[in-house]
Amino acid sequence: MHSSAAHLLHKERIPQHGVLVVPGRINLNQLVEIERIFADRQITWLIEESSHHEPALRGYLEKSRSGAMFSVEDSAPDAAGAQLKSYLENGGVLIHVPGKVATRNATPCHIPSKELGVLCSFGLPILPVAIDCPRESALAIESKSSLPESVIAIGKEIPAASASIAAYRQALLAAHEEAFSQHELLNQSLAIALLEGLRKHGSKNHIADGADDSELTYDKVLAASLAFSRLIRKETDAPRVAIVLPPGKAGLIANLAVIFAGKIPVNFNFTAGPDAVRSAIRQSGIDRMITADPFVRRVPTFPWPPNRDLIFIERAMPTLRKKIILWAIVSKIIPARLLGKILKLDARGGNDEAVLLFTSGSSGEPKGVALSHRNVLANVSQFGSRLELPPQSSMLGCLPLFHSFGSTVTLWFPIIQGVNLVTYPSPLETKRLAELIAIHQVDVLLSTPTFMRGFMKRVDPTQLASLKLVVTGAEKLPQSLSAAFSEKFGIFPQEGYGLTETSPATNVNLPNPTPHESVVTLPSSRSGSVGQLLPGIAIRITDPTTDEELTIDSQGMIWLKGANIFQGYLGKPEKTAEILVDGWFQTGDVGRIDDDGFLHIEGRISRFSKIGGEMVPHETIESAINKVLGLDAESERRIAVVGVPDPQKGEAIILLSALGNTTIERDCIDLRYKLLEEGIPSLWCPKTIITVPEIPVLASGKLDIKRCETLAKSAR
């Protein structure tokens, strides 16, 4: 794609009849482009009377064409719509001109929901128009001047009878996904992007390893990774190389070296059971594993291969000292792209496999998720553009590298975007993590609710004073924990959402933009939601039982589409076909989008039971049980609800309790009455309580559904 003012997608979607054209956002240049698209038709600008526009845009509107006004306070929008209908005669177009708002970067819709509601109530057919601004989501390694200012994507027309906020948002996001997917960056190579990032930020940014308090600038990381990559190439001809290391400089260099060797890194989950690891080893076809001596001793239960198949990084690096010095000189002289060509790193990119991760196996055998270069670069771009971190920001990297968040967000993102990385091998040692945050004045903390509870218990609030953003994922963030964390540390944790298959981030709450007294501020955070979709991601909702398409404000199965969505499970075409249909990915989660575009997750479909034809959400029952029993959501998980087969009703609700109760029958009856008082239907109440020593959870803090179900079935 070449640089120019704007590119147009899907002109064929423009109807010949009159229509209300609603761009999600607009500036003067884009308005001129849209005017050109409809140059052969009668145009009437439609403006909300209290909206603010840039002086140049307002001046252009005033002198150029006829205009019509409306008000968000209009009590009878259908009557106003009847008057506006005359502008659509003989193929005329009404073009709504959104006003200026305070909003986060790269937001597709700049129209306040109240205004959008009025537009949808006019009783007119609506043509959504997405305007993508590639320069807004450009990464630090991209040349903004070479990118188009705008990509204008015409959405699918919404008939007057179907017009609603939900219908408009869905169509706008679908068109925006098509525009975002055109970005030139997405066809490139992750290896080249990393080379460019390390070279560009080389002396300005660094990794600080909290395990030994050492620091390495990115140019030294580049030299060490290139030297180590040559050794890896000699060691194995296999396309993939395993890595078993915690977050730190060794883990970073190992991952980079595998990529610079033209191979695919596979970070194995060393907290998983031996059977799950053996399955992952078998599926990935690796014959070499990079690790470190002390780590092998620390994880004796891991099914380590014979020593000849292990590459010990701490033994290899001292032997490469001279080569590291040579690569340090070479990498400073030769431009990144030329260096990539010499090393043949530009041979793979786009849809080729870049990284292999394995799902946690929370509900079955781990599945291999092959993320392409396109997937990873898209997600770094999506995440980075919305975060807008200033130069010299720093983030804490303590999430495991086998965790998709730990991989994309704390390996590839800091290097490409030029963010300092502060690492520590374990997310559980919150006292040490707090020390590192204070010493290095860390700005961004990525965590999970399970790990955040450790900060609540053991950390002095002054140690976290430098934090400007706390983002949590992997499991639902209890609102009581969020409020308690905010009260103690003075910063509100923002909940995000993603899956291994989505590279991983798809949604994130972020602090609301700074209000501007003369313009409307659009929210970018909503408690209880997982945030708005990141740029370039489309959504649809279906009925979990019938697969019928629903409006996106209805509760149902969430499907996502975007350049960050993986292409399928490794060697499992049947599993892939179940969850990937025409580029749409079935997340396995149930939720809905509200009028402001925030996604609310109601639970995983595996965490619903179908009882008497009704979908029963386990997480809703757990929240109610925690409430009636007075359990502290900031402490560790004490209960879990699971569904087990039942001959009469299809499934039965079972409560696993680690509260030490022994009088099960009485407790069950007592609990039922308390839940009924809370408004929980009788059908949803647990049929049996089973006491267990502890509730099984995965390393990330997620509930281990598979083990919970096994416990429930074995105890019956």
CA 10, CA 518: separation in Å to the nearest integer?
A: 35
Measured at the CA of 229, the angle between CA 224 and CA 235, to 5 degrees, comes to: 135
Measured at the CA of 541, the angle between CA 494 and CA 653, to 5 degrees, comes to: 80
Q: Residue 635 — very low, low, confident or very high, per pLDDT cuts 50/70/90?
A: low
Question: What pLDDT digit, counting tens, does each position of 290-318 carry?
Answer: 999 999 999 888 999 998 899 999 999 99
The pLDDT > 70 percentage for the chain reads: 96
Structure tokens, 227: 């030297």
Judge whether 503 and 404 are in contact, CB under 8 Å.
Answer: yes
pTM above 0.75, yes or no: yes
Topology of 190-511+525-589 in CATH? Rossmann fold (3.40.50)
Q: Residue 3 — very low, low, confident or very high, per pLDDT cuts 50/70/90?
A: very low
Q: Residue 663 — very low, low, confident or very high, per pLDDT cuts 50/70/90?
A: low
User: For residue 37, is pLDDT > 50?
Assistant: yes
Q: What is the pLDDT of residue 606?
A: 72
Within 10 angstroms of residue 363's Cβ, the number of other Cβ atoms is 16
User: For residue 661, is pLDDT > 70?
Assistant: no
Buried b (16+ CB within 10 A) or exposed e, 276-306: bbebbbebbebebbbbbeebbeeeeebeeee
User: For residue 60, is pLDDT > 70?
Assistant: yes
Amino acid code (one letter) for 289:
M
Domain boundaries 612-715, CATH class: alpha beta
What number is the average pLDDT over the span 269-285?
89
Q: What is the pLDDT of residue 716?
A: 64
Strand partners, 355: 371
Average pLDDT, the chain: 91
Domain ranges within the chain, ordered by starting residue: 6-182, 190-511+525-589, 612-715
Question: What pLDDT digit, counting tens, does each position of 117-173 carry?
Answer: 999 999 999 999 999 999 988 999 999 989 999 999 999 999 999 999 999 999 999
Q: Residue 75 — very low, low, confident or very high, per pLDDT cuts 50/70/90?
A: confident
CA 705, CA 716: separation in Å to the nearest integer?
A: 17
What number is the average pLDDT over the span 439-445?
96
Q: Residue 666 — very low, low, confident or very high, per pLDDT cuts 50/70/90?
A: low
User: For residue 620, is pLDDT > 80?
Assistant: yes
Closest to 100 (Cα-Cα) out of 150, 25, 6, 20: 25
Question: What pLDDT digit, counting tens, does each position of 497-527 carry?
Answer: 999 999 999 999 999 998 887 789 999 999 9
For 79, residues 6+ apart whose C-beta sits below 8 A from its C-beta are none
Closest to 558 (Cα-Cα) out of 538, 583, 588: 588
Which has more confidence, 634 or 28? 28
Beta strands in 202-251 (DSSP E): 206-209, 214-217, 240-243
CA 687, CA 674: separation in Å to the nearest integer?
A: 14
DSSP 139-150: -TTS-GGGS-SE
Q: What is the pLDDT of residue 18?
A: 96
Sheet holding 394-397, edge to edge: 214-217, 206-209, 420-423, 394-397, 444-447, 469-472, 494-498, 505-508, 532-533
Residue 541, classed as helix, strand or coil, is: strand
Which has more confidence, 199 or 273? 199
Which region holds residue 388: left if phi is over 0, alpha if psi is between -120 and 50, else beta? left
User: For residue 2, is pLDDT > 50?
Assistant: no
CA 610, CA 618: separation in Å to the nearest integer?
A: 11
Q: What is the pLDDT of residue 705?
A: 82
Q: Residue 264 — very low, low, confident or very high, per pLDDT cuts 50/70/90?
A: very high
Which has more confidence, 172 or 544? 172
Strand partners, 371: 355
Which has more confidence, 534 or 457? 534
Q: What is the pLDDT of residue 634?
A: 59
The pLDDT > 90 percentage for the chain reads: 69
Judge whether 11 and 37 are in contact, CB under 8 Å.
Answer: yes
Q: What is the pLDDT of residue 62?
A: 87
**In residues, how long is the chain?**
716
Handedness of CA 337, 340, 344, 346 (dihedral sign): negative
Mean pLDDT is lowest, of 252-256, 509-513, 541-545, 664-668, for: 664-668
What φ, ψ does residue 513 adopt, rounded to 5°? -60, 160
Domains 190-511+525-589 and 612-715 share a fold: no
Q: Residue 251 — very low, low, confident or very high, per pLDDT cuts 50/70/90?
A: very high
Counts of helices then strands in the chain (DSSP H, E): 23, 35
In terms of DSSP H, where are the helices of 388-502? 404-407, 413-417, 430-440, 449-458, 479-489
CA 368, CA 385: separation in Å to the nearest integer?
A: 28
User: For residue 1, is pLDDT > 80?
Assistant: no
In terms of DSSP H, where are the helices of 65-206? 77-84, 113-120, 165-180, 190-200
CA 668, CA 143: separation in Å to the nearest integer?
A: 64
Mean pLDDT is lowest, of 210-214, 371-375, 481-485, for: 481-485
Q: Could you check whether the bond before residue 504 is cis, i.e. omega within 30 degrees of 0?
A: yes
What number is the average pLDDT over the span 455-460?
88
